Amino acid sequence: MAEEVEPTPTPARATYRPHAATYQVSGRRYVSQGEGPEIETGLRYSVSVELSEEGPQTEASFTVDSVLEVWGSGLRGRTASAVGYEFKGTLDSGGHVAFEEKPDDRDPVLVFLFNNLKELLPALPQAGVSPRQEWADTTESDVLQEDAELRATQVRSFRASEWETVDGSFLLPLGWSGEITISGSGEQLGQQYMVEAAGTVSGRAMISQSGAIVEGFRQAAWRGHITVVSSGFEVAFSQTVADTVRIVSQW
pLDDT digits over 123-139, tens only? Answer: 888 888 999 999 999 98
Counting residues of the chain whose pLDDT is more than 70, the rounded percentage is 92
CATH number of the 19-250 domain: 2.30.230
- Cα-Cα-Cα-Cα torsion 203, 59, 166, 23, nearest 10 degrees, comes to 70
In angstroms, rounded to a whole number, what is the distance separating the alpha carbons of residues 14 and 163? 10
Residue 4 pLDDT > 80, yes or no?
no
DSSP designation for 209: T
C-beta separation of 61 from 53 below 8 A: no
Whose CA is closest to 131, among 165, 95, 91, 179?
165
Question: Average pLDDT over the chain, rounded to whole?
Answer: 87
In angstroms, rounded to a whole number, what is the distance separating the alpha carbons of residues 169 and 100? 34
Q: Which of 2-16, 35-49, 142-156, 192-206 has the lowest mean pLDDT?
A: 2-16
Residue 70 pLDDT > 80, yes or no?
no
pLDDT digits over 149-208, tens only? Answer: 899 999 999 999 999 998 888 999 999 999 999 999 999 888 999 999 999 999 999 999
Domain residue ranges in the chain: 19-250
